[in-house]
Structure 1
Amino acid sequence: MADTEEWPLESGSYILRRLVDNVALNATGDNRNVSITCVEMWNSNLYIGTSAGEILHYVQTPLHPADPSSEDIFILAVRLNPPVNEQGATGIQQILLLPNANKACILSNSSLSFYTLPELSPAFPQLEPWRCGWVGGIDLEADESGQYEAVIMVGLRNRITLVKVAEQPMRVRDIEFRSCLSAARRGNFACVADARTYTLLDVGRQQKIPLFSISSVDDQSIENTGTTASSDEPRLRPLIESPNSNVFLLVMGTTPPEPGVGVLVDLDGEITCGTIEFASYPDSIVVDGQDLDVASTQIADGMPKEVCVLATVRRQVGESPTKDVQIQHFDIDTGEGSPKKEWLGISSQTHGVTDVLGLRQIVASVKVSLPEITDRLAMSPIQFLSSSTTESNNLSIIKRQREEREFINNLCKIDARITVWVGDEVFWILRNPMILRLDAHLRLAQSTSMDTNAIRTLINDIRGINPQTEFDFFTLTYIRQKAAILLFMDLILCTASGMLATTHDINATERALAESEVDPRVILAFLPLRDEIVCSQNGVWVQAGLKGLLDQLLAQNDISKMPTDPDGCYDHNILRLVYRILLFWRQKRGHPSITDSSYIFRTVDSTLLHILLLCDSNTACGPAAAGSMRAELNSLVDAGVEDVDRAIVLLEQFERLYTLSRLYLSQKQPAKVLQTWQRIICGEGDSRREFIDGEQQFRIYLSKLRNRQLVEEYGTWLAKRNPALGVQVFVDDNSRTKFLQADTLELLRNRAPGAIRKYLEHLVFRKKQPQHTNELISFYLDTVLAELGSSESSQATIISTYKSYRALRPPKSTYLQFIANTATSSDEWQTCRNSLLQLLDATQDAVYSYDVTTVLQRIMPFKSHLIPEMIILYGRQGRHEEAIRLLTHSLGDFEMAASYCLSCGRSIFGETVDEIDFRVLPAAKEQGKLLNMLLEEFLRIEDISDRIELTSELLERFGRRFDILHVLSLLPSSWLIGNYSSFFISALRRHVRHRNETSIVKALSDAEHIIVNVNFIEMVEARGPIME
């Protein structure tokens, strides 16, 4: 492929390409006195006429036949000397090819001969050469498809003869017109010219309409159009063309160096439209556009009706006169406005033309391949991988490149029909393909400082063009992508210099990148994000012209020096733009038209993720807010990414484990999700602290899984870390994985022993399963006794609570309430002891039954430390006296002692006296017995003031349950009676009330007895005596 710097800047409407050079004009090799006079080409055969009267027949063949894309060369097949009637100096005057008839007419030194195509063997050997001055006039309107003949006009001395050329030449008719030098025919109408004037001719009716003189300085009256000029002055050569079926183009002037004027004449002989002005009177003209299939060039030019008039004229370049081809664009239909003029520039390419510059339109268009097009449009790989490719990959790349070039070479051929020759060289004049013309504009825009305005203007100009052929499609794709890359490169340069680009420039670049659909990997090649590019070992395939541009731009710019601050111009100019472009590409996922889609979308997803991580790296911690970068990051990950492995690496690199867990969720990998959450809970890489209430989310997710193995593994891990939460995994009724109690206990014993207590508590307290009560109590005892047996400080802590509680003055809370309110440690053993007390003190129904004797035996070694436990157990065994003694003296919980007596030991620490439901209390006799025990213990209190106060209070509150005589026997005689006045007064009142009630009952009984006796007597008297 040619370097882009070697391509010429060709922005004109036409370009010049060499057809053949070093033509052997003379058999001896001396070309100094021989020149080319005419050129024709048909079916890969090139025919060149020379002033030496020879026809050079060249055959076109590929330079390398095995490579169809190789450049063609021409090989001289034969050198032909047509027979002439008399020798002259004019040589070959005309070569007229008749492909339908498979014949060629050659006019040499005014002698016309016929030959067969393509080898130019004599067609009619028995026919002598005809003497004539001109041959041509093929009907431009004729539909020659399927015909094997052609009708031509032969300009004889005194007439024009129409000849049908087929198997034999046949004269059709003669038209009276002397010395015809040029003609153009459409149907029955022809425009002909002699040496002086133009004439419109009706061929069928043989009617003539004189038009005007060729030279405006020729004042001689023309009486006979067939006369010949006798002056020795050089005369203007008549030039006739027919742009379309309605008009003829005729050229008139004064002298050869003076400007010439082209005039359009209709079929009525009237001058129409405007005129065309030439720099000098042309040596020859060609009208291009009316018969040539130039669909792609019409699209590029945007003017389908436009035709171009090409003329060889004189031109002054500096102080040197030369010849060149002048090109004029002209709207034949309207003729409005001044024609757009330009020069082909042949003089600059041929080092000046001072003599012969020939111009001719050949009989039929030829498809021409331009290497510059192939060098731009053929696909070529860009290597982004640093690893070396294997030999097989290299062979694969070479093979594909050859196929790509062959494809483009065959597809993107240009129609060629106009030839120009100078010296010993023949050139094609080609409509400049859109790709070369627009690419020249782009190269001009980037030649010095980047002219982004010109690039944007070009993009706007081609935005409305719709491709009509594959060639057009490839061309527009190339131009749009190149323009977009240049605009993006301008943003890169702004960023590298620390400048903020305007919003207009950024938006224009974004639109260009989106419309052109530049491979996103090409965009990333200019950025530090290029590490995200994913491609095969064969590289990223782009059009070769783009590859050359990319190689050039990458060589000129050091990517490592690009500023990467996500809060600076890098973010403003580049990151957000690239982010939107990548989103645009992500929406195209699944489109069948995208080649290399797997690698492209892996690149897109990885880069999007990388950009979002960069932009979110300095934002506030916490869950994602709606519309934030973090929310977009989560949406991207939740939707799934193409390159999961790369996403994992990026998320690990940025310490975004929570986002990584969302990725695993989208991939339906619960094991990875749990593993990642486990790492976050243990304190690893959640840099944005998004995993709120992680352990609870962990538990909820486990309840949704059906994978028993995962639930067991991570459920026990959670139970080991947070027993209360972990146990919920195994007891949740809504969980999709169910566990039997025995299996759960076995699992917890093996993997999370610390969670067994929570599980047993659930079974005992919530599920009301009594079979686990003893095991739970045993677990509590194991924990508490192990702590007391190994820690003297724990023993001292318990003793200190007793002392502190006893030191409180009544009224005071219960001991359990006291230790709950004053607890400062969250040690497991203290929690277990509190739970143990609650379980031991629970009501005596079957649900909470346990082996009292076993429990009592286990705690006996610490009976002085576990006083509340001893009290409860004594109460369960009916050892009320010992329980009351501990409540009174060891614990000092007098309120609970009274409650114990009233409930007869059913609830020791559950209810105070005020909370007791007296409707369900035991018999008063049993209560009185226990209260008497309590009274006796109160009377043993060491502190005399407490003894008197508590005894007085007990008697006052529960006096009716005490026998006054028994109380009097217990109270010391030294105590003042006033301390117990309330008790005695109430007791005496009860006694008096009881005595009065007894007297009343006795009186009522006596009255009842009298009534019974009276009734008996009356009954006896009524029945009378009975004789036995």
Structure 2
Amino acid sequence: MASERQRKQGNAASAASATASETTTPAAPAATLPSARPYALRPLLHDVPLSADGKDEDIKINCVEYYDGNLYVGTSASELLHFFRIPPDPADPSGQSTFIFASRPPLYSEPAAGINGARPGVQQILLLPRVGKACVLCNWTVTFYSLPEMSPVFSATQVRNCNWIGGVDLNEGFAAAGDGSSGGVTILLSLNRRIQVVRIGEEDARVLRKIDFSGSTLSVRRDSIACVADSTSYSLLDVDRQLKIPLMSISSLDNSQPDGGFGHAQNVASAPDGGLARSASSATARAPANSQDTLVKSRLTAVRDLSSSLPSLGAGEEGYVLASMTREFEDGLHHGLEIQRFDVNVGEDDAEKWWLEIGDQDPKQSAPNTPIGIRPLLQSEEMLFEDVVERLCQRRFSPFKGQPETPTMSLKSNDSRTALSLQRLSQEKALFERDTESDDEQLPPGWEATRNQEGEDFVRRLAKTSSRLAVWAGDNIWWAVRNPLLTQLDSALEKAAASTQQTAPDGLETRRQLLSLLGTIKDREPTTELEFMTLGYIKQKASVMLLTTFLSSPEPPFADAEMKAMEENLVGGDLDARVVLSLIPALRNEIVVNQRGIWIYGGIKNIVESHISTETDGLGMQGISSLAPNVLQFLRRFLSAWRKKKGFGSIPDEVFRTVDASLLLVLLELDQDTPSGQTGKPGSVRKELYDLVDHGVDCFDRAVDLLETYRRLFVLSRLYQHRKMAADVLGTWRRIIEGEEDRGGELGDGEQRVRSYLSNISNRALVQEYGLWLASRNPKLGVQVFTDEKGKAPKFEHTQIVTLLREEAPDAVKYYLEHLVFGKGNTAYVNELITYYLDIVITDLQTSPASRDNIAASYDTYRALQPPKPTYLRFLADNAPPNDEVWQSRLRLLQLLGGGHDYDAAAIRTGSTTPSPPSPFTLFPRNHPRPTYPTGPPPRPRKSPTASPPPTLINNKNNTSSSPNPFSSPRAAGTTPALLVRLGDYDTAVSYCIRGAAALTPAGTTRRHRRDSGSDLPPTWDEQTVLFRTLLGEFWRCATRTSGSSRRAHCWSGSGVLDVVPEAWGVEVVGGFLVTALRRLVCEGREAAVERALSGAENLRVGFEFVVKVEEGGGVVEGE
């Protein structure tokens, strides 16, 4: 019995046939497809001239033998017909062999006296090629002939009353004549009461021994041991020792055997080449029965085929049993062949059985009631399966209706969404008719026919098989040929489709049968190249049939498992994705084909073209929006799975161009339901769309067209980013920002995105172009492009940027100057920046009453603060309204004016475009005489709602470029009156007298100044004295008197202060000053006493050291 692995491999075709309703012994022969069986009949010789004159119609074929191109046919008319084979024309690969009639030698025809005087005709033909002889049993008489012409030899020696001839040693085989090893061939002749052992040589035939054994009907021998059968049982026979060992009965229903010991049953029924053997029963042998049939007594001939031809099911299977039987059906008796596997263990599985009739193969040749004979021949014949060649040969496929020469373009404009113009159609045609493999490649004339021929030659080498089984009925002879796996499985597919069209138009049964067949071959590992191609072909065809069922029968819908199985087989079967897309008219126009076209199996080509030809005209014009959601989801998964094959060198680039374009189109259609502005969430269609363009597509130009058509500009910009096309990325964002429709709405803060992107590119021209464009739209953000220290583009010169901004984005100049002055400490642009600030502040004051009221209120609020209070700049900064550009400009202006920056007041006044309002704080204009201090408290100053410190500071701070000492100018001394009179900021006024301009800068502010300028140095003692005198004069003018105001007046002269204090003032008014002055006088007196004492001690030390030096030197005599 076969091993478990062998039986599993062998059962695949049986399971496939079972899927196609090839069950055990069908009720009627018309219910099964012929090619679904494991065997088929191929013509060997038709219209055999059984009668010499053609008048006798009762003559029939009894036996057939074949060797070395010679066909011998024995008839019931006791004639042996000899035919000679003419091989096919080598130039015609599909040509068939033909046989010509050679001779009709009459054989022995005297009535036999052995069995009721019957004349059966030619009963057996035994060819012995080793000795060039043949033994023919005719009418129970054996005659010997020479090969191949069948001339009588051995002086017409005959052996009468013979039942059968055979028993050739299986170990020796049927070697060809003239091999040099022939010493004769030993055969067995079964007579009525004994078996003769005969030695046939080239010159004579000799009887070696006679063995008593009556009633034998058949024998096979290996060496000296023969297995002999009679009408009831088997026996082992040692022809050398003439020993007989009884074995089991032929039929389990036969109880006539006496009890006794039997030997073990041995399987010695193998052919000379290990493949074929034969057995025949008597005229009353019991035929295998089936409960569905009526058992009919008839002659039964069975053969066992163990050979595995090249395109058969598997190398490890043991074969089939074929029996010629007669069965009774509803319409009468039918003669046919029952085929079943014999490598199934008893009790494990029911043996699969198939019924084969001659009429199934060729209805014109024989009627069902014609008896059938079957016999294994001596020599096999090689033959070719043309249907396998036609199905497996690669053929050029056109995905469009029409000839293959026309559809080498992509008619994308037929899509309703992309139908722009006929001109665009012609441009795309010119584009896709170009050979992408090589622009210079020219295909030679007839290249397609050459490739077809090469493909056919390759498949023909694989689709060859051989057979030794001959089947005959009437005057016709056939080869019984093992059906290749492809034919069996393909027939199962066709039967599934045919049965479903009759019983289930919705396609439900078809899909179940197709999925069952795919599941049967899913894990099958091919062992030959033909089997590999066969499995791939079946997967492709079954998957295409599933897809057509899915597209044409939306109800009932496919289950998830069914959909997944279809997708896996479409991808795993290696079917060109363009073929799948050709079945969907809405995507057919995305297919890209080069000059060489699409090459697929011929069988797949036929089924796809058949489906396309049945489509309604104009169906492809409906566009992808006409597809059902489940079809779109299927395409999404299928195309995504196909993209994973990128990098396989065996797949043309046009496939991935088609796949990418189709997938992009499907995702764009599905993503239309996603809310605008939503980002790509994991697992969403939008996320998959982003991944597709972010990883790049092979159909770049087509992708741009699709994204433009769907108005998905942001996705288009991501496609450009993958290609590092910075100019197109920025251009696309610019279109969105300027208001062009972007249906996805994913850009978000477009200006900020542009700003960040410009920092990451190194193209200086793009940075300049889009930096200026951004600065014109958003000055503050645009300036950051030019001020970014981490940008990859080469840096611009400051003067160049200022010039460009003045020309393209004037509103952004101020922000860039702020960067230079405050960020970089570049004071060259202080004057210009102050001018910008003044224009902003003054324009706002002149045009906005609310701004004037806010400033006046800020003065009053600051004056009302109790000391110690922050500086005025800190006060303004802490109370600045959010996002108030004017307020920020005012703060920056005060910071510039109050800091150590050098500026030219005259130049600022000249450059300002807005006239400055009169200010009451312009206290000390140029050449203004020093004030005379009053004898009483000054009146409270008037409030001016439009007054502000900037004009005051401009008028009262001298240009450092013309004054080497900034604190010696009366303009510097005018700052303290401004702080006192208008703001009441006494602490800052005193701090200014001590620290100078540093006192006006809020804490935490970075101060930048020129190193060659003395404007930011603290005042000297003399300068502090002058400033404090000025401050003291302003104190006398203020109505507010406080002792705390003079605590810092350490630079005041006591007598000078007392000289100007009015006599009417009480001591408590200047008490703080008097205490401080007296303490200072006491300290100065004590310091002077200590200094005098130290000076005296120093004098004593110096005198002592002088005396010591003199003593060390001794006396000195000076001559005159």
Smaller-chain TM-score range? Answer: 0.7 to 0.9
Does 1:242 find its partner at 2:301? Answer: no
Does 1:189 find its partner at 2:189? Answer: no
From 533, 536, 545, the equivalent of 1:474 is: 533
> Secondary structure, in 3 states, of the residue corresponding to 2:481?
strand
Superposed CA deviations along residues 878-908 of structure 1, whole A, max 9, x for unmatched, are: 8988999999999994447995797379659
Match of 2:822 in 1: 765
Whether the 8 Å CA contact 1:82–1:108 is kept in 2: the answer is: no
Match of 1:797 in 2: 847
Whether the 8 Å CA contact 1:37–1:50 is kept in 2: the answer is: yes
Does 1:362 find its partner at 2:377? Answer: yes
Aligned pairs for 1:627-666 (under 5 A) are 627-666=683-722
Superposed CA deviations along residues 963-1017 of structure 1, whole A, max 9, x for unmatched, are: 6886869xxxxxxx9xxx78x85148868998999999999999x99xxxxxxxx
Match of 1:410 in 2: 461
Distance in 1, Cα, partners of 2:466 & 2:452: 25
Distance in 2, Cα, partners of 1:747 & 1:475: 76
Distance in 2, Cα, partners of 1:720 & 1:657: 23
From 1048, 1066, 1069, the equivalent of 1:986 is: 1069
From 38, 62, 78, the equivalent of 2:63 is: 38
1:358 partner amino acid? G
2:239 partner amino acid? V
Does 1:598 find its partner at 2:653? Answer: yes
Deviation at 1:161, TM superposition (A): 5.5
Does 1:82 find its partner at 2:136? Answer: no
> Secondary structure, in 3 states, of the residue corresponding to 2:860?
coil
Superposed CA deviations along residues 690-739 of structure 1, whole A, max 9, x for unmatched, are: 44544444444443444444444444444444444444444444334442
Q: Relative to structure 1, is the Cα distance of residues 439 and 702 closer, same or farther in structure 2, using a 3 angstrom cutoff?
A: same
Match of 2:170 in 1: 140
Aligned pairs for 1:454-493 (under 5 A) are 454-493=513-552
Aligned pairs for 1:898-917 (under 5 A) are 903=992, 910=1000
Distance in 2, Cα, partners of 1:338 & 1:850: 110
Superposed CA deviations along residues 380-419 of structure 1, whole A, max 9, x for unmatched, are: 3432257964497994444433333332233123332212
Aligned pairs for 1:817-856 (under 5 A) are 835-836=892-893, 838-843=895-900, 848-856=901-909
Q: Relative to structure 1, is the Cα distance of residues 130 and 1000 closer, same or farther in structure 2, using a 3 angstrom cutoff?
A: closer
Does 1:285 find its partner at 2:301? Answer: yes
> Secondary structure, in 3 states, of the residue corresponding to 2:342?
strand
Q: Relative to structure 1, is the Cα distance of residues 22 and 342 closer, same or farther in structure 2, using a 3 angstrom cutoff?
A: same
Whether the 8 Å CA contact 1:107–1:113 is kept in 2: the answer is: no
Match of 1:973 in 2: none
Q: TM-score, normalization: structure 1?
A: 0.73
Aligned pairs for 1:82-481 (under 5 A) are 82=105, 84=107, 93-99=123-129, 110=141, 112-116=143-147, 120-121=148-149, 128=156, 130=158, 135-143=165-173, 147=179, 149=182, 151=185, 153=187, 155=189, 168=203, 171=206, 173-176=208-211, 182-191=218-227, 201-207=237-243, 242=269, 252=281, 259-260=286-287, 279-283=295-299, 285-290=301-306, 292-294=307-309, 297-299=312-314, 304-305=317-318, 307-311=320-324, 313-331=325-343, 340-348=352-360, 349=363, 350-385=365-400, 389-390=404-405, 395-446=446-497, 447-448=499-500, 449=504, 450-451=508-509, 452-481=511-540
Distance in 1, Cα, partners of 2:42 & 2:787: 88
Deviation at 1:473, TM superposition (A): 1.8
Superposed CA deviations along residues 419-472 of structure 1, whole A, max 9, x for unmatched, are: 212233222222333323333333333232241333333333333432222222
Q: Relative to structure 1, is the Cα distance of residues 700 and 285 closer, same or farther in structure 2, using a 3 angstrom cutoff?
A: same
1:287 partner amino acid? V
Match of 2:1008 in 1: none
> Secondary structure, in 3 states, of the residue corresponding to 1:596?
coil
Deviation at 1:61, TM superposition (A): 3.5
Whether the 8 Å CA contact 1:816–1:909 is kept in 2: the answer is: no
Where structure 1 has 5 or more consecutive residues not aligned to the other structure, the ranges are: 222-239, 263-273, 939-949, 970-976, 1010-1028
Match of 2:674 in 1: 619
* RMSD after superposition: 5.6
Q: Relative to structure 1, is the Cα distance of residues 25 and 356 closer, same or farther in structure 2, using a 3 angstrom cutoff?
A: same
> Secondary structure, in 3 states, of the residue corresponding to 1:82?
coil
Whether the 8 Å CA contact 2:394–2:452 is kept in 1: the answer is: yes
Where structure 2 has 5 or more consecutive residues not aligned to the other structure, the ranges are: 1-19, 21-30, 112-118, 258-266, 407-442, 864-871, 920-947, 959-965, 1006-1015, 1093-1120
Q: Return 620-629 or 203-212, whichever deviates more.
A: 203-212
1:242 partner amino acid? A
Q: TM-score, normalization: structure 2?
A: 0.68
> Secondary structure, in 3 states, of the residue corresponding to 2:605?
helix
From 922, 940, 956, the equivalent of 1:875 is: 956
Deviation at 1:958, TM superposition (A): 6.7
Whether the 8 Å CA contact 1:36–1:424 is kept in 2: the answer is: yes
2:479 partner amino acid? W
2:220 partner amino acid? A
Match of 1:551 in 2: 609
Deviation at 1:80, TM superposition (A): 0.8
Does 1:927 find its partner at 2:961? Answer: no
Does 1:61 find its partner at 2:87? Answer: yes
Q: Relative to structure 1, is the Cα distance of residues 179 and 966 closer, same or farther in structure 2, using a 3 angstrom cutoff?
A: closer
Aligned pairs for 1:664-675 (under 5 A) are 664-675=720-731
Distance in 2, Cα, partners of 1:608 & 1:201: 76
> Secondary structure, in 3 states, of the residue corresponding to 1:758?
helix
Distance in 1, Cα, partners of 2:538 & 2:56: 44
Match of 1:236 in 2: none
Q: How much identity, in percent, do the aligned residues show?
A: 28
Whether the 8 Å CA contact 2:898–2:1001 is kept in 1: the answer is: no
1:308 partner amino acid? V
Distance in 1, Cα, partners of 2:255 & 2:32: 52
1:781 partner amino acid? T
Which structure has more relative contact order (CA 8 Å, sep 6+)? It is 2
Distance in 2, Cα, partners of 1:612 & 1:737: 36
> Secondary structure, in 3 states, of the residue corresponding to 1:242?
coil
From 96, 112, 124, the equivalent of 1:72 is: 96
Distance in 2, Cα, partners of 1:387 & 1:868: 88
Superposed CA deviations along residues 939-972 of structure 1, whole A, max 9, x for unmatched, are: xxxxxxxxxxx64469995798896886869xxx
Q: Return 671-680 or 383-392, whichever deviates more.
A: 383-392
Match of 2:4 in 1: none
Superposed CA deviations along residues 608-628 of structure 1, whole A, max 9, x for unmatched, are: 444444444433534434454
Distance in 2, Cα, partners of 1:710 & 1:321: 93
Distance in 1, Cα, partners of 2:854 & 2:704: 59
Distance in 2, Cα, partners of 1:999 & 1:460: 115
Distance in 2, Cα, partners of 1:209 & 1:278: 37
> Secondary structure, in 3 states, of the residue corresponding to 1:72?
coil
Superposed CA deviations along residues 118-149 of structure 1, whole A, max 9, x for unmatched, are: xx346787854646655443333435568564
Match of 1:230 in 2: none
Match of 2:832 in 1: 778
Distance in 2, Cα, partners of 1:750 & 1:173: 127
